[in-house]
Amino acid sequence: MTAEFVQPDLMPALPEMVMLAMTCLVLVVDLFLPQEKRGFTLLLSVLTLALAIGAVALVAPASAVSSFGGSFVLDQLAVVLKIAVCAITIMVFVYSRDYLADHDIYKGEYYVLGLFATLGMMVMISAHSFLLVYLGLELLSLSLYAMIAFNRNSLRSSESAMKYFVLGAMASGLLLYGISIFYGITGTLDLTQLSASVKGQMAEHPVALGFALTFIVVGLCFKLGAVPFHMWMPDIYQGAPTSVALFIGTAPKIAGFAMAIRLLVDGLGDLQVDWSQMLTALAIASMALGNVIAIAQTNFKRMLAYSTISHVGFILLGILSTSANGYASAMFYTITYAITASVAFGVLLVLNRKGFEAEEISDLSGLNDGNPWYAALLAIAMFSMAGVPPTVGFYAKLSVLQAVIQVDMVWLAIVAVLFSVIGLFYYLRIIKVMYFDKPMAEQTTTIKEALDVKILLSANSLSLILLGVFPSILMAYCILAFS
Amino acid sequence: MIETIIFYVFAVTTVVSACAVVTVRNPVHAALFLVLTFFTSAVIWMTLEAEFLAISLVLVYVGAVMVLFIFVVMMLDINVARMREGFVRHLPLGLAVAVIMLGIMLSVVTSDVFFMDVGSEPVARAADYSNTKALGGVLYTDYVFAFEIAAVILLVAIIAAISLTLRKRGKTKYQSPAAQISVRKADRLRIVKMPSSEE
Amino acid sequence: MVSMELVYLAIPLASLLGAIIAGFFGKQIGRSGAHCVTIIGVAVSFVLSLLVLKNVAVDGAPIYNYSVYTWMISDGIRFEIGFLIDGLTALMIAVVSGVSLMVHIYTIGYMHDDDGYQRFFSYISLFTFSMLMLVMSNNFLQLFFGWEAVGLVSYLLIGFWFKKETAIYANMKAFLVNRVGDFGFLLGIAVLLMFTGSLDYYEVFDRADSMVTATMQVIPGMDWSVITLACILLFIGAMGKSAQVPLHVWLPDSMEGPTPISALIHAATMVTAGIFMVARMSPLFELSETALSFVIVIGATTAFFMGLIGIVQNDIKRVVAYSTLSQLGYMTVALGASAYSAAIFHLMTHAFFKALLFLAAGSVIIAMHHEQDIRKMGGLKKYMPITYWVSLVGSLALIGFPGSSGYFSKDAILIATKNADVWGAGYAYLAVLLGVFVTAFYSFRMFFLVFHGEERMDEHTREHLHETAPVVTVPLILLAIPSAIIGWLTIETVLFTDFFDQAIIIFREHGAMAAVAEAFHGPASFVVHGLAPGPTWLAAAGVISAWYIYLRKPQLASAIRQRMEWIYQLLDNKYYFDRFNEIVFAGTARAVGQVLWRLGDALVIDGLIVNGSVRLVGWFAGVARHVQTGYLNHYAFAMISGLILLLGWAVLG
C-alpha cells in the first residue's frame, strides 16, 4: 500500500504555499506588536504579497502544468491573474492604512483576513476542479464577511456583513446544488474529465445539463454581481468600511472572472450555446440597470457599486462572445477595471479623515480647489470608467465590442454603446462636481497624506493613461492566455 | 434483500426527520431531529461501505457540532413567535415560488435523465479492505491541496469569530504575575520616621 | 543600429520630457528650473538631430523606416507610431530643433516678467515634441496626430495672454480656419485609406499607381480622379496649416501671441508643416497634373498678393507676418512646379532668416516697451546696433541679396518656376517675379522706418532705449550666421546631390529641377549669374524705391497714398477677406445656427431628446432605486426570481 503514494508536484503551488506560510507568520507576529508598531504588519503583509508575486514569476511555466491529480492548473491565465490580484491587494493595503487608523480599526486582522482572501482568490484562479473552485470561493467569501463586519462599532457594517453572509451562503448553496447535479450526471468533479463527459452526454441529457448549468451560472453571477444577483453590492459597498469596499470592489472581480473562465469555458465549454444565451440576458440587464440606477445615486460608494454592475455587464459581453478574442478582451477589461476602481476608492480613502467619512458625491465638491492633484487622479479614473480615450477604459471597451461584433452580434454592441453613453452622464457629473461646484468647508483644507500613498495612487492613476496609450503591454499577455 | 430493506427504512427516516427539522416549532426539537438525520445517513453510508465517513459523521457532527448547537440554542432565548411574524404575509409568494420550482424540477426529473446507468455499479471489496487507508492515500496526494485549503478555511473562521467577538473590557480585573513578581519592597512599604511622642 | 533607434526615439522624447516637467512641476522647480529643463531637453534633441543629419548627409546612412510601436490592429489596418528617417526628415528635425533651441533661449529674456513663464516653456517644448513627431512620422496616423498637436499648441499659445480680448478672438479664428483645412486633410487621408487600405507612407506610395486610373463619384454623375481628389484634399489641409489663400486669414491675427511664438510656430516651423507634407507626398502629387496646377496657382496668388498687403501694414509684427505668408507662397509655387527640394531648401533658409526677423522685431518691441507701431519708431540704429545689424542680415536674406541664404533658395524657385510646364506656371512665374520687387520694397520700408530717419517715439521711450540683454541678442547673432551663409554652404548638397533622392520623387517630364541643375555650376557662379539682369535688379529696385519714398522724401508716401486711395483701402482691408468671411461664412453660420438652435436644439433635442430622455432615465432610475429596499428577503427573492427565469429558459425553452 505504501508504494502507491505518489507525491504530487508541489512546485506549481509554490505561490500559494508562500502565501499561507507568510500569512501565518503575519498572524503570529502581529499578536506581539504594540498598536503603534502596526505599520510593521502592513510592511510584512506587503512583503508577503511581493514574495507571492515573485514566486508566481519563478514558477511561471512555458505551457500549462497541472498537479494534484489535475485539480490544480498553472497556465498563462493563472500567472497573469495571480500577479494582478497580488499587485492590486498591495495597493489596497497601502491605501487603507490611514483610513483604518483614523477609524480606530487599525488592527492586524484586517491584513491577515485580506491575505487569506487573496489566498482564496489564488486558489480559485488555479482551480481545475469543482472542489477547489468551491473551496477557494468559500475562503474568499468567509474572509470578506469578516472584513465587512470588521468595524464592530458600526451598525451599518454589521448589517451589510449579515446581508452578504446570508445571500452569499444562498448563492454558495445554489452553486453546490449545480455542482452536485453535474457530479450526478458525469461522476466527476475534475473539470477536464467533466468536459469530456459532458461532450458525450450532451445529446442524451440536454435538459438535466441545462438545469445544472443554470445553478452554476447563478452562483457565478452572484459572485460577479450581475443583475438580478447584484442586490448585495450597493448595500455592501456602502455599509462596509471604505477600505474593505475598496478590496471587495477590485481584486475579487478578477477571481470571479477566473472562476467564470474555469467553469464555463474549461469545464462546460460544450454547453456554450446555453450559457452564452443566459449571459447575454444577464449582461444586458446589468448594463441597463447598473448605468441607469447609478444616475440616481447621491452616495459615491453606491454609485461605484452600480457602476461596477454595469462593468460586469461588459465583462460578460466578452465572455459570451465565446471566442479567444472575447475572453482575452474580457480579461483585459477585468484587470483594468480593477485598477481603475482602486483609483476611485483610493482617492475616496485619502479624503477620509478622523471624524469625517467622505462618501457622498457632494463630499467631492470643489475638490479641485484644495487638492487639484487628487481631483485630477480621480478625474482620470472617471474618464477611464466612462471609456474616454486615451484612458485604458476606452481601449478595454473597444476590444470587448470588437469581439462581440466579430461573432456577428452587432445589435448587442449597439446596446452596450447606448448604455455606456447613459453611463457617461454620472461619471461626468463627478468631474463637474469636483471642478465646478463650490467647495465644502471640509474640502478647503489641503489633505495631509502619506507620501507612499500619494506616489502609489499617482502611479496607479497614471497607469490608466499609460495602458490606454500602450494597451499591448497587458493585452499581449491576455491574448497569450487564450491561445 | 436485507440491504434493500435497511436502505428503505433508513432512507425514509432520513427524509422524514429532515422535514421535521424545518417544520417543528421548538428549535431544540429541530436540532434533535437533525441529529437523527445524521445518524440515519451514517447508516446509509455504512451500507455503501464508507465506514470511515460514516463514523466521522457521527463523531464530528453528532458528537461535536450538534452538541454545541444545542447548547447555543438553549442558551439563547429565541422568540419563535416573533420570528414567524412575516410568515403568513409572505406565504403566498413563497408558495408560488416553491410551486414553480417544483414544476421545473419535475419536468427535469421526468425527462429521461436520472436512470441509474450513469455510473458503474460499485464493486464489493474484501473484508480486510481498509477504507480509511484508501482515503488517506488520496487525501494526502491528489487532495492534499484541497485538504489544506479546507483547513485554512477553518482557521479563517476561528480568526473571524475571535476578531468579531472578543472585546477587552476596561473594567475587567485580572492579576499581572509579572508585576507581582517584580515588585520591590520600596514599592509597597513606606517607612515613616516618627518622633516619639514621649515627653 | 540599435543605438540609432534609441537616438531617434530620444529626439522627440527629450522635448516631451522637458515639457512634462515644466508643465506639471512648474511650481516646484520655479522659473529658472523650468527654462533649464526645457532648454536642456531641446538642446539634447538638437544635438541628436545634428548627429542624425550628419549620418544621413555625410555618411549616407540608408533610409530607416521602422514602426516603434503598434497601437492596435483593426481589420488589417495597423495603427502605429513609427519613424521614417531620410534626408527630408533629417533636415527638418535639425531645423526644427535648432530654431526651437534659439527661441527657447530668447524666451528667457522676452517673457522675463510674465506670470505664465513655466506654462510658456512647457508649451513651446510640447510644440517642439509635436513638430518632431510630425516630421519623423512614417504613417498618416502619426502625421495627423502631430498635425493636430501642433495646431493645439498654436491655439494655446496665440491665446496665451488669455485676458486680452483680441488674443482670444485671434486664437478662435486660427482654430476655426484650421478646422476647415484639417477637415480636408482628414478626408484626404480617408480617401487614401479607402483605396490603398493602409496608413503607412510607403505602402500607400506603392499602391498609388492604382489610384491614377480610378475614379469616384462624390457628386453623383461626376467622375473625379481619385488621385487628384486625394491630393487636393491633402493640399487643403496644407493650405490651412501653411496659410495659403483663402485660408490665410488666421496667420496675421496669430501675431497676438507672444513674439517668440510668432517666430517659432507662425514663421519658422509649424506653418511650414504643410509644405513639408506636400513634399513628403511628392510620389502622390507627381501623379496628378491637376493637383499640381492647383497648388502652383494658389501659391503664386499668395506669394504676390499677400506681399502687397505687407506694404501698407504699420505693425512691425504684421509686416513680418505678411512677409511670411508671401514666402510660404513661394514655397508652394515651388511645390507646384515639382521643385520639391527647392521648396524645402527655401523652407530651411526661410526658417532661419524669418525667425531672425521676428526675434529682432521682438527685440525692438522689448526696447520700445511693447510698442509695435513702426510709425512711432525710427532712428533706432544708434540705440540698438546689434539688433540693427542682424535685422539687416535678415532683411537682405529675405529679399534675396546675392550670396545670402535667401538668394539661393529664392533663385532656385524662380528658375524652377520659369521652367515648369504645368498649367498656370506662366502666371506663377509672373507673380513670383513681381513678388521679388514687392518683397524688397516692404522689407526695406520697414527697415528704414524702424532703424533710420527721424526719431518719432515719445520722450519717455527714447530715454529708456537701449540694446536688449544678451539672452536676446545671442540667439539673434546665432540665427544671423546661418541666415547669411547657409545657402552658400548647402545648396549643392540639398538641391543637386542625391540627398532627397529617396524622399522626393520627381517624374522625368516635370523638368523644373533639372533646369535648375543645368543652370547651376557651383555657388559662386550662381551668385555671378544672379548679377545678370533679372530678379536681383528687381530687388534692388525695390530697396531703392523704399529708400526714396520713406527716407528721402517721406512726404511722397502720403501723396501716393492719397492718389491711390482705393488701392490703399483694398490692401489695408486685406482684400476684404476678413469682412467677406465675417459676413458670408460667419453670418450665414450664425443665422443657420440661430435657426437650428431655436428649432432643432431648443425644441427637438433639448426639449424632447435630451431632457425627455433625461427625464425618462431619471424617472426609471428613481423607480428602480426603490427596488433596492435594503430588506434581505427582498434581495433573496430577487435572486430566486432570476434563478427561476433562467431555469425556465434553460429547461423549458
Decide if C651 and B108 are in contact by the 8 Å CB cutoff: yes
| More confidently predicted of C513 and A416 | A416
Note whether B102 contacts C: Cβ–Cβ < 8 A.
no
B contacts of C652 (beta carbons < 8 Å):
104, 107
Identify which has the larger pLDDT, C68 or C414: C414
CB contact under 8 A, C618 and A222: no
The partner residue sitting opposite A218, judged by closest CB among C632, C636, C643, is C643
- Rounded CA gap, A447 and A370, in Å? 8
Domain extent listing, chain B: 1-80, 129-164
Question: Using one digit for the tens of pLDDT, what is the confidence trace for A84-115?
Answer: 999 999 999 999 988 888 888 888 889 999 99
Chain A residues within 8 A of C642 when measuring between CB atoms: 218, 227-229
**What is the DSSP secondary structure assignment for residue A66, as one 8-state letter?**
E
Within an 8 Å CB–CB cutoff, is residue C645 touching chain B? no
Which segment of A384-388, A394-398, C247-251 scores lowest on mean pLDDT? C247-251
Nearest residue on chain B to A110, alpha-carbon basis: B163
Q: What are phi and psi of A118, to 5 degrees?
A: -60, -40
> Which residues face C74 on adjacent strands?
C77
Query: Residue C155 in contact with residue C171, Cβ under 8 Å?
Result: yes
- Summarised one tens digit per residue, pLDDT across range C91-140 is 899 999 998 998 898 888 888 777 788 888 888 899 999 999 999 998 88
For the CA atoms of A327, A329, A331, A336, what is the dihedral angle to 10 degrees?
Answer: -170
Which phi and psi (to 5°) does residue A481 adopt? -65, -20
- Chain B CB contacts of A4 below 8 Å: 137
pLDDT digits (tens, 9 = 90+) for C211-243: 777 777 766 667 778 888 889 999 998 988 888
Task: Please report which confidence band the pLDDT of residue A261 belongs to, taking 50, 70 and 90 as the band edges.
Answer: very high
Residue C319: all three cell numbers together: 509686416
pLDDT digits (tens, 9 = 90+) for C299-310: 999 998 888 888
Q: What are the angstrom distances between the C-alpha of A328 and each of A48, A324, A338, B49? A: 29, 6, 15, 47
Cα distance from A325 to chain B (closest Cα, Å)? Answer: 32
Specify the higher pLDDT residue, A240 or A295: A240
Q: Measuring CA to CA, which residue among C347, C175, C227 is closest to residue C275?
A: C347
Contact flag A205-B133 (C-beta cutoff 8 Å): no
Chains that touch A (3 or more CB pairs under 8 A): B, C
Distance CA C53, CA A232 (A): 65
B73 CA: distance to closest CA in chain A (Å): 19
Query: Rounded distance, CA A244 to CA A96, Å?
Result: 8
Chains that touch B (3 or more CB pairs under 8 A): A, C
Q: Measured between alpha carbons, how far is A422 from A387 in angstroms, rounded to an integer?
A: 12
**CA closest to C639 among chain B residues:** B97
The full DSSP string for B101-144 is HHHHHHHHHHSTT--TTSSPPPPPPPTT--HHHHHHHHHTTTTH
Q: Given CA atoms C91, C92, C94, C99 in this order, what sign does their dihedral have? A: positive
Those residues whose C-beta lies under 8 Å from the C-beta of residue C239, and which sit 6 or more positions away, are C181, C184, C245, C247, C274, C298
Is C648 in the B-facing interface, judged by CB distances under 8 Å? yes
Exposure pattern of A333-355 as b/e (b: 16+ CB <10 Å)?
Answer: bbbbbbbbbbbbbbbbbbbbbee
- Is A422 within 8 Å of C636 when comparing Cβ atoms? no
Question: Would you call B116 an interface residue with chain A, using a CB distance cutoff of 8 Å?
Answer: no
Q: How far is it, in rounded angstroms, from Cα A389 to Cα C166?
A: 33
In CATH, what is the architecture of B1-80? Up-down Bundle (1.20)
Residue A361: DSSP 8-state: G
Specify whether the CB–CB gap between C482 and C489 falls below 8 A.
Answer: no
- Is the C-alpha dihedral spanning C520, C524, C526, C532 positive or negative? negative
pLDDT tens figures, C375-388: 888 888 888 888 99
**Axis-axis angle for helices A155-186, A232-239 (nearest 10):** 140
CB nearest B118 (choices: A107, A139, A187): A187
Per DSSP, C369 falls in state T
For residue A1, name the pLDDT band (cuts at 50, 70, 90): very low
Task: Provide the 10 A C-beta neighbour count for residue C92.
Answer: 27
Contact indicator for A342, A91 with CB cutoff of 8 Å = yes
Residue-averaged pLDDT of chain C? 83
Kind and range of the H or E run holding C556? helix C555-563
Other Cβ atoms less than 10 A from the Cβ of B138: the count is 14
The residues with which A127 forms a beta bridge, in sequence order, are A72
Q: Helices C87-110 and C340-367, interaxial angle, to 10°? A: 0
Cα distances (angstroms) measured from residue A99 to each of A360, A446, C378: 16, 16, 70
- What average pLDDT score do residues A120-143 get? 95
Residue linked to cell 433562467 = C646
The continuous run of DSSP H or E covering A67 comes out as strand A65-67
Confidence band (pLDDT; 50, 70, 90) for C637? confident
Secondary structure letter of residue A391 according to DSSP: S
Q: Measure the CA–CA gap between C239 and A11, rounded to whole angstroms.
A: 66
Which residues of chain A are at the C interface, by a Cβ-Cβ cutoff of 8 Å? 162-163, 166-167, 170-171, 174, 207, 210-211, 213-215, 217-218, 222, 227-229, 231-232, 234-235, 274, 277-278, 281, 289, 292-297, 395, 402, 422, 469-472
Answer whether B156 touches A (CB < 8 Å).
Answer: yes
Contacts of B108 in chain C (CB under 8 A): 651
Confidence of residue C453 (pLDDT cuts 50, 70, 90): confident
- What global pTM score does this model have? 0.68
Closest chain B residue by Cα to residue A2? B137
CA-wise closest residue to C258 among C370, C340, C165, C90: C370
Around Cβ B105, how many Cβ atoms within 10 Å?
13
Does the structure show a pLDDT above 80 at C346? yes
Q: Which residues of C touch A293 (CB under 8 A)?
A: 621, 624-625, 628
pLDDT of amino acid C77: 72
Contact across the interface for C648 and B104, Cβ inside 8 Å = yes
Is some CB atom of chain C closer than 8 A to the CB atom of B84?
Answer: no
pLDDT at C402 over 90: no
List CB contacts (< 8 A) between B107 and chain C.
651-652
Report the alpha-carbon distance of residue C505 to residue C88 in Å, rounded: 12
| pLDDT by position in tens, chain B (length 199) | 888 899 999 999 999 999 999 888 888 888 889 999 999 999 999 888 888 899 999 999 888 888 888 888 888 776 666 666 667 777 888 888 889 888 888 888 777 655 555 556 667 777 778 888 888 888 888 899 999 999 999 999 999 998 888 877 667 777 888 888 888 888 888 888 888 876 5
Contact at CB, C644 and B104, closer than 8 angstroms = yes
Question: For position A385, what pLDDT does the model report?
Answer: 92
- Is residue C45 a contact partner of residue C21, using CB atoms and an 8 Å limit? no
Helix (H), strand (E), coil (C) string for C484-522: HHHHHHHHHHHHHCHHHCCCCCCCCCCCHHHHHHHHCCC
Mutate to test the interface with A, among B113, B154, B162 (most CBs of A within 10 A): B113
| pLDDT computed for residue C165 by the predictor | 79
Given pLDDT bands bounded at 50, 70 and 90, which one contains residue A144? very high
pLDDT at C610: 61
The three grid cell numbers given for residue C134, joined into one nine-digit string:
510630425
Residue C373 · residue C315 · CB < 8 Å: yes
What burial class does residue C113 get, using C-beta atoms within 10 Å of its C-beta: 0-12 exposed, 13-18 middle, 19+ buried? exposed
